[in-house]
Amino acid sequence: MGIETEFGIVEPGRPQANPMVLSSTVVAAYASVASPPGRPARWDYEDEDPLADARGFRLQRAAAHPSMLTDDPSAPAPTGPDGGVPDVAAGAATATALDPGERERPVVEEYDDPAAATTILTNGARFYVDHAHPEYSSPEVTNPRDAVLWDKAGEAVALRAVRAVCSTPGMPDVVLYKNNVDGKGASYGTHENYLVDRAVPFEVLAQHLIPFLVTRQVFTGAGRVGLGQAGQDAGFQISQRADYVEAEVGLETTLRRPIVNTRDEPHADRSRWRRLHLIVGDATMLEVATWLRLGTTSLVLWLLERSQSRPEVLAPLEDLALADPVDAVRVVSRDLMLTARLELADGRRLTAIEVQREYLAAVVAALGADVDDATREVLDRWESVLDRLARDPGLCAREVEWVAKLRLLEGMRRRDHLEWDHPRLAAMDIQWSDVRPERGLYHRLVAAGAVETLVDPAEVDRAVTEPPSDTRAYFRGTVVRRYAHQVRAASWDSVVLDVPELPVLQRIPLRDPWRGTRSHVGELLDACADAGELVRRLGRG
Amino acid sequence: MAGQDQIRHRRDDEPDDAPEPVAAPAAQARDAEVDSLLEEIDEVLEQNAESFVRGFVQKGGQ
């Protein structure tokens, strides 16, 4: 699993600043302070396929909105509803794990479009410019606690990038925000990715994920000042993203955004896995909120995988289909008392908390007594948070982000007699997610001990530079750190090495996310002084 | 909402039928904590909220 975060970006006092240029400045500044010396590694687009649909077809390139064409570095995907449609055929690779393949070394140095700035970090993450925002895509991790750790590392990367820009003479001031809306109509995403067994039919995934995703907002929402896409009505709602959800299932991510996104770009062996790409979630600063979001969702996905051999585990969930899921997203997001009843397709009316309890019960029943400690912690907290939310949402102010934010806003409203349309409340909502500890309101709450944390700041520091040890991110990050000047390009499922004594580039596929771990390749990498030796040893198999 | 003294410890092992906090002292503790948080936050809040909010303009993303 992993989390992609598009950061809001501002040059204070200059709202008209070009966000793509500003974002490139941020990414390049981070590269200059964090990357090992040498030519920066490019992104390897060979296996990217953003137009493949999980329902079993490919969108025609000419029919796609240009903002969906994210696999062509010579034409960065634009943000608005206009732009040219480039014509590029996607390549296909069939090599097996860690078996080097050969690629031509370009005679002429490829052109680096500064607007397509991308950095592959030594922790296995990608930090780049996506749709006029700096985006941090975390390395692949195996559990929700590690997801929190490398998500926090992403905030630290964003902070260091801001510091790097602001400390460079002649560079503009810049601030990054980990949120999802600007209050004027624009939204930018925080996407979760989960590796899911390809054997689970997509229809089963969509059917059972929709009621879960619609109702999980009660503990995953980051809170938002303003109602409607442009915040045209005054008020507070639970989710940043809710007003931008316009379809149940679909391929798009920049318009007509769906509850379940069907992009079928597994970045892995397509015959074995799909990558579930969830775009409905909010960026969360609270560690417990991020942990529960990833933890509960991966447990539901485990249940769906389990149902392939034990269909009866889904029986308790069969009748939970919502009558109008897209409308229910808004209903839940506006229901601060958490008492609104959602109409189900079978005519029943349940609250969001009751729907969540059905999922919790189904997971608990399917797991039985044999539960590891990490899973037990997620289950216990899931139950405890639902119980306390039902009793009084305020009881979750240390764990659930919208509750923590609302508590502060209500305090301000009470103290200074403000109506919801007062600009100070909107400013607090934005400043909540400022990545700078001296300005961000979330950081002030941490400093005051008012929210619960799960990971140690020293751990986060290490995660900024070190990859997780138990996924292929270990191989990617370690190769980028050790053989920086010999890494030509890299991607989620490949590393391309440029070994001077070899006539062609060497492309090492990473089609299996579970290979390339420290236990798998740690000794090998420790023993190789340079990329040439690595290629020789891999070639010998 | 509960004051920090009610929620400082982890709630995992709390029994579901835990007694409701007594309303009046809890409300006072809550107000005191929120008020002190607000005082801290006053120092970092943007001075001109209106122009700050107006200037926070983003392009749509994914």
pLDDT tens-digit series, residues A497-537: 999 999 999 999 999 999 999 999 999 999 999 999 999 99
Number of domains in chain A: 2
Can you tell me the ipTM of this complex?
0.89
Quickly tell me which residue has 């070899």 as its tokens.
Answer: A502
For chain A, positions 62-81, list CB contacts with chain B under 8 A.
Answer: 67, 79-80
Give, in order, the Cα–Cα distances in Å from A314 to each of A324, A355, A484.
Answer: 21, 14, 48
Question: Is A408 among the domain residues?
Answer: yes
Going by the DSSP 8-state scheme, the letter that residue A341 receives in this structure is E
A-chain residues within 8 Å CB-CB of B14?
384
Domain membership of residue A125 (yes or no) is no
User: Domain boundary at A404, A432, A460, which?
Assistant: A432
Give, as one character, the DSSP assignment of residue A178.
Answer: -
Domain boundary among A432, A459, A489: A432
Percentage of chain A with pLDDT > 70? 92
- Number of CB atoms found within 10 A of residue A532's CB: 18
pLDDT of residue B15: 46
Asked if A404 and A498 sit in the same domain, the reply is: no
Residue A359: pLDDT band with limits 50, 70, 90:
very high
Cβ-based contacts under 8 A for chains A and B: 148
Instruction: Give yes or no: residues A420 and A488 share one domain.
Output: no
Residue A335 bears catalytic tag: no
- Domain annotation covers residue A273: yes
Mean pLDDT value across residues A43-56: 80
Confidence of residue B14 (pLDDT cuts 50, 70, 90): very low
Whether A274 and A395 map to the same domain: the answer is yes
Helix (H) or strand (E) holding A21: helix A19-34
Name the residue facing B11 among A182, A388, A393 (closest C-beta): A388
Residue of A8, A183, A394 with shortest CB distance to B1 = A394
pTM (2 decimals)?
0.90
* Same structural domain, A253 and A347: yes
A179 inside domain: no
Residue A3 in any domain: the answer is no
Enter the tokens of residue A349: 């009316």
**A403 and A493 belong to one structural domain:** no
Answer yes or no: is A2 within a domain: no
Distance CA A329, CA A73 (A): 35
Chain B residues touching residue A80 (CB < 8 angstroms): 59-60
Q: Which residue has the higher pLDDT, A381 or A80?
A: A381
Beta carbons within 8 Å of A9's beta carbon, 6+ residues apart? A19, A22, A23, A26, A132, A133, A134, A174, A175, A176, A177, B58
Domain identity same for A388 and A526: no
- Per-residue pLDDT, averaged over A328-354, amounts to 98
Q: Do A381 and A523 have their domain in common? A: no
Alpha-carbon distance A214 to A332, whole Å? 7
Inter-CA distances, A458 with A152, A440, A462, A464, Å: 11, 20, 6, 10
Please tell me the predicted confidence (pLDDT) of residue A263: 86
The domain boundary residue, chosen from A375, A410, A432: A432
- For chain A, the straight-line distance linking the first and the last C-alpha, in angstroms and rounded, comes to 29
In a domain, A283, yes or no: yes
Same domain as A400, residue A275: yes
What local confidence, expressed as pLDDT, does residue A193 receive?
Answer: 97
Q: Retrieve residue A454's tokens.
A: 């799960």
A172: amino acid identity, one letter: P
A417 with A492, same domain?
no
Check residue A39 and give its pLDDT: 66
Q: Taking 60 as the threshold, does the pLDDT of residue A312 lie above it?
A: yes
A477 and A392, same structural domain? no
Residues A480 and A427 in one domain: no
- Indicate the SS3 state at residue A480: helix
pLDDT of A62: 65
Identify whether the C-beta of residue A289 lies closer than 8 Å to the C-beta of residue A301: no
Q: Are residues A199 and A301 in the same domain?
A: yes
Q: Which domain holds residue A321?
A: 186-432
The mean predicted confidence, pLDDT, of chain A is: 91
Q: What is the pLDDT of residue A54?
A: 79
Q: Which residues of A touch B31 (CB under 8 A)?
A: 411
Domain assignment present for residue A8? The answer is no
